Amino acid sequence: MSIHGGYDTAYANDFPDRVAPLDILKRLANKGFIGEVHEKMYTTTGTGTSVSNSESFGRDIGSKLKDYNVDGVILTST
């Protein structure tokens, strides 16, 4: 479920792969173009989040991705 104060989220809620292209990534992984797709997706809120909390979230998420040996990410901004 997408909630956003700056755009209509109807399309994202109807088809979440428009925001996070997991369908394409899984297809690429199945064809051997990329490695496997990580089992988790990390998201944060933006406008109401303080800089210090954002920095903390980034360090925490980055550390977890490193622990899972993730070597590539897609950063989607709305």
- The one-digit pLDDT tens for each residue of the chain (78 residues) are 777 777 788 988 898 888 888 999 999 999 999 999 999 988 887 777 888 998 999 999 999 999 999 999 988 776
pLDDT of residue 43: 82
3-state secondary structure of 7: coil
Under 8 Å between Cβ of 33 and 27:
no
Q: What's the one-letter identity of residue 58?
A: G
pLDDT of residue 2: 77
pLDDT of residue 49: 84
68: which 2 tokens?
């899972």
Sign of CA dihedral 40, 69, 65, 32: negative
pTM: 0.72
pLDDT of residue 1: 75
